[in-house]
Amino acid sequence: MADTAGKRTRVLRIGAGASYAGDRVDPATDLAARGSLDYLVYETLAERTIALAQLERLKDPKAGYNELLDDRFYAALPHCRKNGTRIVTNMGAANPRGAAARTAEIIRELALEPMRVGTVLGDDVMEYCLRNRDRLEVMETGVPFASLEGEIVSANAYLGADVIVEALARGADIILTGRVGDCSLFLAPMIHEFGWRMDDWDLLGKGQTGADMVECGANVSGAFFADPGYKDVPDLANLGYPLLEVEADGTIIVTKLEGTGGLINRATCAEQMIYEIHDPANYITPDVVVDFTGVSLEEAGPNRVRITGGRGKPRPERLKVSVGIKQGWIGEGEITYAGLGCVERAKLAEQIVRERLGIGGVDLEELRVDYIGLNSLHGAASLPPAAPPYEVRLRFAGRAKKKRDAVKLVNEVETLVGKGPCSSSLPRKYVREVLAIYSCLIPRAAVRTEVIVEKVGK
């Protein structure tokens, strides 16, 4: 709890309940039930997630928020209410207001009122990006946005911790956001509880370092780390999700609940720390530019790692925007050949499809053919098999401007069953619209945020 001055006098406990839209529900519920948490964070937005959510909202104005919101809140809210745990999450995705309305309904259904639900708005900057399309550049390539073909369906700026801090200061028990910095979800409770200044760059840098450890959820507790016989991780089927123990000076311990599977040690933390970092001395976030080069990781006990030494620099004046654009279609078809000579039959099948695409005048911008199990990941660098394989799966993937060309590709793959080499499986095929994601930078001042806090019940 906080003292009368609004500054916490004991260790702050923050649990990581999710790291992507479809993450498991039960580990977060376990954290809520027995983690003695002050905060439970659900981070659910990958780069494409909010653009896909915007497409859903265009079909249904009530949709566009995380589809597992109901499952998560029905399972965890009773524990959070009982234990005084506040929730911070970006499950609002493309529709934070809709998510807040549904959350209020769940609170009433579970008879948990009174509770305060906070909503953070302002990350949707579509209007600004459309109005300034000629002046914006694509971060990945430097080309003007105006040169990109396709319909822009979403443009969301990465907001920082400040808007979440405002909602916490106004008493919100649950805060639903759209696009914010992943780590900002964890950093905001630290700023609020310890009274850190928004320009105390070193403290923010320390907090950001701890947040970075858990924003990918169970990655730091052994997921995506396990490599049998080399890096063994126990009981992955019952993987425990991590939590932070934070002190007012920015010292942080990352740990997990007793009795859960997985592993937290110096190696798991080191791998997570360097994940997705371009420049370790200048890791840019909406809240602070972090210097990881002086970070120290010390094992403080079983499944406990102490993190110290993070530093910070002033935050950037521009915010990153993730832009979703419809850009054509992808057709994908797969078929398996088995038995002696399966590779030779698959090669013949590839030749047939390529020739048929030419005969049919199919216009593809790109065509990829993979032999799954032989070269689908490493391509020409793949090691040759020690013996001829007994089965191989042939995969075609083509990108086209027009849907009809993508459809023609997958139909040619399907036709192989009766008009191609023998001994094949039935094919799998699908066609989907391409939702390309690009990034740009816009002035911080161009983003207009709004924080709404509403009381549910008397």
Contacts of 60 (CB under 8 A, 6+ apart): none
Count structural domains, the chain.
2
Of 222, 227, 212, 226, the C-alpha closest to 265 is 222
The pLDDT assigned to 135 comes to 92
299 and 338 assigned to the same domain: no
Instruction: Let me know if residue 98 belongs to a domain.
Output: yes
Give the span between the Cα atoms of 311 and 292, in whole angstroms. 7
Give the span between the Cα atoms of 94 and 376, in whole angstroms. 34
290 and 329 assigned to the same domain: no
Q: Each residue of 203-247: pLDDT tens digit?
A: 999 999 999 999 999 999 999 899 999 999 999 999 999 999 999
309 and 424 assigned to the same domain: no
Give the span between the Cα atoms of 66 and 253, in whole angstroms. 30
The pLDDT assigned to 314 comes to 97
Q: Each residue of 79-133: pLDDT tens digit?
A: 999 999 999 999 999 999 999 999 999 999 999 999 999 999 999 999 999 999 9
The pLDDT assigned to 455 comes to 96
372 and 269 assigned to the same domain: no
290 and 331 assigned to the same domain: no
The pLDDT assigned to 21 comes to 96
Instruction: Let me know if residue 453 belongs to a domain.
Output: no
Residue 4 has pLDDT above 70, yes or no: no
Instruction: Let me know if residue 130 belongs to a domain.
Output: no
Residue 299 has pLDDT above 50, yes or no: yes
Instruction: Let me know if residue 414 belongs to a domain.
Output: yes
The pLDDT assigned to 3 comes to 39
Question: Domain end: 273, 296, 316, which one?
Answer: 316
Query: pTM (2 decimals)?
Result: 0.94
The pLDDT assigned to 7 comes to 67
Instruction: Let me know if residue 413 belongs to a domain.
Output: yes
The pLDDT assigned to 2 comes to 38
Q: Each residue of 253-264: pLDDT tens digit?
A: 999 999 999 999
Domain span including residue 377 = 323-439
Residue 326 has pLDDT above 60, yes or no: yes
Instruction: Let me know if residue 240 belongs to a domain.
Output: yes
428 and 411 assigned to the same domain: yes
Contact 180, 120 (CB under 8 A): yes
Question: Domain end: 285, 316, 347, which one?
Answer: 316
The pLDDT assigned to 6 comes to 54
Instruction: Let me know if residue 2 belongs to a domain.
Output: no
Question: Domain end: 274, 298, 316, which one?
Answer: 316
User: What CATH number does residue 403 fall under?
Assistant: 3.30.70.100
224 and 287 assigned to the same domain: yes
Of 15, 96, 118, the C-alpha closest to 50 is 96
Instruction: Let me know if residue 4 belongs to a domain.
Output: no
301 and 401 assigned to the same domain: no
Q: Each residue of 23-73: pLDDT tens digit?
A: 999 999 999 999 999 999 999 998 889 999 999 999 999 999 999 999 999
The pLDDT assigned to 1 comes to 34
82 and 185 assigned to the same domain: yes
